[in-house]
């Protein structure tokens, strides 16, 4: 049996065409002339003819009819020429994508952010990316911590901006800053506007917190326990900080806010006062988080360093890398 018309296999294994064979055939299919096709792709005419013959042998079909004056595609050649061109186009796209990936801070970066960080940190993050990394396609996803960690572990997200520690195996945290919590009260509250508030004052307050699932709620409850508040019967009345603060303004209780949220949230009402705790004040830590051993790990570490530099105007204590 001749090679053309056979199965194109050796030892039971199907042979694979090479890219050079596909390029040669695609050129012949386009120019229908061996000399012109060879010149177009920078091959000698004998090498081009040999590549097409080798492809026919590999595939087990006749692709071209050779005459003294011109080249014609067989019906099989016409069908497979379309496939060959598509394969070569995809290979070209793959090489372009690889080149883009090799360049730092290009392509897509899917950033997950918790709701109690997003409104207050994103302006700084977006300004930094716009100014310093203009070719980076930053896509922001605002979700609660559990959903973000799940997205990071499954590859749906690339990088997280959230409160830590997470205590999740396989996740590396890049600390950015610590920030104090402050007490937000109605105008007529006895702790309103005070400084040096002892944590023990939290024992008797009617405290309003976020719904379950928000890490800020868990942090606030931990602060209350540290202050000696044994019961966990804390009124939960809001899904977001904006609503929570408006409930405080309406006299329904007090709440704890991270310092980065104070300016934005309290500016919406003139019925609020802010009190500050005695040192050491209760705090939270905010960090970037990535998969351990992430391919773009060095890039993310550089982004963390740049973000620390950009945090100067915010009421936080910037941290160095650990």
Domains of the chain: which residue ranges?
Answer: 9-102, 107-322
Q: List Cβ neighbours of 317 (8 Å cut-off, separation of 6 or more).
A: 177, 178, 179
Question: 107-322 architecture in CATH?
Answer: 3-Layer(aba) Sandwich (3.40)
Decide if 9-102 and 107-322 have a common fold.
no
pLDDT band at 167 (very low <50, low <70, confident <90, very high): confident
Give the tokens for residue 90: 């995809």
Residue 160 near residue 148, CB atoms below 8 Å: yes
Fold of 9-102: Arc Repressor Mutant, subunit A (1.10.10)
Nearest CA-CA partner of 35 in 48, 27, 45? 45
pLDDT band at 233 (very low <50, low <70, confident <90, very high): low
Residues in the chain: 322
Q: Over the stretch 34-82, which tens digit does the pLDDT of each residue have? A: 888 888 888 999 999 999 999 999 999 999 998 767 789 999 999 999 9
CA dihedral 156, 161, 163, 164 (to 10 degrees): 70
Does residue 142 register a pLDDT over 60? yes
Transcribe 288-307 into DSSP letters: EEEETT-TTHHHHHHHHHHH
Read off the pTM. Answer: 0.71
Phi, psi for 38 (deg, rounded to 5) = -65, -40
Helix axes 241-249, 259-266, angle to 10 degrees: 60
Return the pLDDT at 1. 33
């Amino acid at each position: 049996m001749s090679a053309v018309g056979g199965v194109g296999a050796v030892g039971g294994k199907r042979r694979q065409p090479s890219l050079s064979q596909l390029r040669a055939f695609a050129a012949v299919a386009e120019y229908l002339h061996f000399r012109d096709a060879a010149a177009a792709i920078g091959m000698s005419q004998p090498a081009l003819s040999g590549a097409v013959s080798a492809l026919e042998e590999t595939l087990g079909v006749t692709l071209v009819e050779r005459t003294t004056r011109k080249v014609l595609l067989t019906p099989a050649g016409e069908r497979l020429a379309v496939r060959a061109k598509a394969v070569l186009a995809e290979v070209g796209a793959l090489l372009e994508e690889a080149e883009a990936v090799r360049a730092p801070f290009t392509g897509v970066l899917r950033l997950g952010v918790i709701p109690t960080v997003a409104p207050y940190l994103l302006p700084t993050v977006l300004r930094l990316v716009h100014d310093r990394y203009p070719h980076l396609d930053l896509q922001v996803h605002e979700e609660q911590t559990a959903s973000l960690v799940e997205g990071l572990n499954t590859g749906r997200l690339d990088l997280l901006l959230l409160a830590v520690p997470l205590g999740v195996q396989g996740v590396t945290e890049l600390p950015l800053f610590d920030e104090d919590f402050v007490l937000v009260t109605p105008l007529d509250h006895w702790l309103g506007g005070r400084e040096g508030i002892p944590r023990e004052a939290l024992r008797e307050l009617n405290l309003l917190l976020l719904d379950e699932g928000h890490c800020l709620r868990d942090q606030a409850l931990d602060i209350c326990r540290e202050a000696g508040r044994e019961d966990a019967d804390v009124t939960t009345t809001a899904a977001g900080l904006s609503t929570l603060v408006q409930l405080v303004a309406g006299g329904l209780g007090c709440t704890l806010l991270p310092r980065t949220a104070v300016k934005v949230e309290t500016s919406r009402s003139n019925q609020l006062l802010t009190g500050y705790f005695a040192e050491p004040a209760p705090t939270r830590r905010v960090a970037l988080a990535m998969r351990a051993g992430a391919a773009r790990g060095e890039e993310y570490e550089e982004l963390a360093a740049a973000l620390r530099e950009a945090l100067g105007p915010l009421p936080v204590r910037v941290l160095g890398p650990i």
